[in-house]
Amino acid sequence: MRLLSKLLILASLVSGIGFIQFFRLGELKNSSNDLSAEEAAQQTQVTALRLELLQQMPHVGFRNMWASWVFLDFIQYFGDFAARDLTGYSLSPTFFDAIIDADPRFFGAYLYLTNTVSIYAGQPQESIRLMEKGLNSMSPQSPPRSYFVWRYKAIDEMLFLGDNQAAQQSFQTAADWAQQSPDDAAELTASLSQQTADFLATDPNSKPALINGWMSVLGRAIDDNVRQRAIDEIETLGGEILFAENGQVTVRYNRNE
């Protein structure tokens, strides 16, 4: 009976998601470069209603699947550039609040969270709150590469809030967690995080720390606008971006300035 109940819940969930996605498809078909501000505002209201419906749907036993569906819905929302140019990205925190509530260990979501909520929606405090919420359910080993979330949090604290004391503590935790992780990238990340934590401990306004922070943003940018902002910030700080033939990106700057 328990299996049958779960299958019925799953069928209900799939049907509900299918209806909502069909609703979303119709919305996207009506979106174009000629979208008016009024139409874009109506779309945003529809999206907000859809999110509310998604959050009310049962997902007992299928939380990871539910979070993935909401994330796919967010990707559609983010990718509707005509509408976003008119109404912005104000619903991004709501998407990620729902995703993290259902699956706080959904590592891939955090890459989009920090870019979209901090930079596009202009709400770094909310981005940090959501990461703190997710980190409460993480450990150095689970999910793999969880130490990166501490780095993302540190970068938001340093670059967007100017809270370098909090950033120093987050970078230190990122280093500590990376040292406990078997992941291939852990050793390098531990070293970089420790270096930045040390910079901030001795010089809260450290230019190398700021440049390294924007290099991290550049490395995980999700579109050209974020990449260009990171490059502009690095150059303003006196750094020079170097692009190697193999695609590797590095930065050169005078540490003594």
Average pLDDT over residues 16-25: 44
What is the model's pLDDT at position 53? 82
More confident residue, 159 or 33: 159
| Pairwise CA distance, residues 175 & 170, whole Å | 9
Residue 3 has pLDDT above 60, yes or no: no
Residue 4 has pLDDT above 80, yes or no: no
Return d(Cα 50, Cα 70) in angstroms, integer. Answer: 10
Higher pLDDT, 243 or 78: 78
Alpha helices in the chain, H assignment, sequence order: 2-29, 37-56, 63-79, 81-87, 92-102, 107-113, 124-135, 147-155, 164-179, 186-202, 207-219, 224-236
- Say whether pLDDT at 35 is over 90: no
Nearest CA among 103, 189, 196, 120 for reference residue 160: 120
If we measure between CA atoms, which residue out of 56, 33, 57, 35 comes closest to residue 44? 35
* Mean pLDDT of the chain, nearest integer: 84
- Between these two residues, 162 and 25, which has the higher pLDDT value? 162
166 pLDDT higher than 50: yes
Band (pLDDT 50/70/90 cuts) for residue 159 is: very high
Q: Which residue has the higher pLDDT, 40 or 257?
A: 40
Residue 219, beta-bridge partner list? none
Q: How many CA atoms lie within 13 A of 129 on its CB side?
A: 10
Provide mean pLDDT across the span 58-74.
84
User: Is a pLDDT exceeding 60 seen at residue 242?
Assistant: yes
pTM score: 0.80
Cβ atoms 214, 196 nearer than 8 A: no
**Residue 135: pLDDT band with limits 50, 70, 90:** very high
pLDDT of residue 59: 65
